[in-house]
Amino acid sequence: TVKGSFEETQRASVGCDSRSPLPDPIFFHYAKYKQPSLDVVLTKKTKLPTFCSCVPHRARRSRGVPLTLPLKSLPSEWEVVGEHRKFDLHFKVKKCQEDLDVRLGFDLCAQEQDFISKRKKVVAAALKDILQLEDDLQDNEVPVVAIMTTGGGTRALTAMYAHLLSVQELNVLDCVSYITGLSGTTWTMSNLYEDPDWSQKDLKETLNDVRKHVLKNKFFTCFAPNRLKYYLKELCQREQEGHRICFTDLWGLIIETMLHEK
């Protein structure tokens, strides 16, 4: 068991003699900075192994007491062998590859830090103009400003456009580094992010287009026979992937048609 690891607890069968096949290797994925320990418990009354000298003495335990091995004590890329008259335990610590689906760590990733560094130049110039400063701002003087929004369906969609327009008219939009959304406001964000230069364009025209689009009669578009077949296909595919289907899934597909007509 490695508490905090992805696998948490795993079991391995150990043979009684040298003719028994070797068990498959057991892997644990864990964050190094958490400094976890490996707990080994034998289900039968078998003497626990004694580890070679490269493992600290505190990793040794007497019979009947579970073995706890601090993983930080294991040297990286070295194989550590615990020898016993009936079986051996082999340990090896390796760094995971860089292309992980989920990054382990609390710091910002390199790409995000690069974005913040570039964004600070834009924010610094905007603040200097708004506050009428004589000197340029240093990097440590530039604040990280975020706009936080909540949900609310179509109302939130149009309201966020209106608020961003107000911020733009106040010349404050370039001072913002992050925008967060929820539910309906994420629809606004997804529409905006289709254009990488959206913040440099007049949002009044965009808001007018969205208002006209939302007010149009969508009944025949949303419930046309071809759209109903599309809804059924998407819901069946989602169910095959192991998800539980509910009305929210259908409503999301209808909203997709209402906003994008596709």
User: If residue 230 lies in a helix (H) or strand (E), which one and from where to where?
Assistant: helix 225-240
The HSE-up count of residue 66 (CA atoms within 13 Å, CB side) is 8
Q: For the purposes of burial, counting CB atoms within 10 Å of the CB of 156, is it exposed (0-12), middle (13-18) or buried (19 or more)? A: buried
Cβ atoms 41, 58 nearer than 8 A: no
The HSE-up count of residue 5 (CA atoms within 13 Å, CB side) is 19
Dihedrals φ, ψ of 48, to 5°?
Answer: -70, 150
Which pLDDT value is given to residue 138?
93
Question: For residue 133, which of 175, 74, 82 has the smallest C-alpha distance?
Answer: 175
Which pLDDT value is given to residue 56?
41
Say how far apart CA 86 and CA 18 lie, in whole Å.
7
Which pLDDT value is given to residue 170?
94
Which pLDDT value is given to residue 152?
86
Handedness of CA 22, 27, 33, 36 (dihedral sign): negative
Which pLDDT value is given to residue 44?
61
Say how far apart CA 204 and CA 210 lie, in whole Å.
10
Tokens of residue 32, six digits:
């190094």
Which pLDDT value is given to residue 174?
95
Which pLDDT value is given to residue 88?
61
β-strand pairing of 145-148 with 176-180: parallel
Low-confidence ranges of the chain (pLDDT < 50): 46-64, 83-86
Say how far apart CA 76 and CA 93 lie, in whole Å.
5
